[in-house]
Amino acid sequence: MHLRMTGVPMHRLRILSLTTAAAALAVMAAACGGDDDDGGSITVYSGRSEALVAPIIEDFTEETGIKVNVKYAGTDAAAALLLEEGGKSPADVFFSQDGGALGAVREAGLLATLPGSITGLVPEQYRASDGSWVGISGRSRVVVYNPGLVSASDLPASYKDLTSAKWKGKVGWAPANASFQAFITAVRKVDGEDAAKAWLEAMAKNDAKTYANNNAIVSAVASGEISLGVVNPTTSGASSGTGGRSTRRTTASPPATRAHSSTSPAPPS
pLDDT in tens, 68-112: 999 999 888 999 999 999 989 999 999 888 777 888 899 999 999
AA identity, residue 132 = S
Q: Using an 8 Å Cβ cutoff, are 1 and 7 in contact?
A: no
Question: What stretches of 75-190 adopt beta strand conformation (E)?
Answer: 93-95, 135-138, 142-145, 171-173
> In the sheet that 209-210 helps form, which strands lie side by side, from edge to edge?
209-210, 171-173, 228-231, 142-145, 258-261
Model pTM score: 0.66
Give the integer Cα–Cα distance in Å for 91 and 12.
9
pLDDT at 99: 76
Q: pLDDT band for 234, please (50, 70, 90 cuts).
A: low
Statement: residue 268 has pLDDT above 70: no
Give the integer Cα–Cα distance in Å for 39 and 61.
9
Q: Using an 8 Å Cβ cutoff, are 145 and 227 in contact?
A: yes
pLDDT at 236: 55
Which residues, at least 6 apart from 107, have a Cβ–Cβ distance to it below 8 Å?
Answer: none
Sign of torsion, CA 241 247 248 249?
negative
Q: Using an 8 Å Cβ cutoff, are 76 and 101 in contact?
A: yes
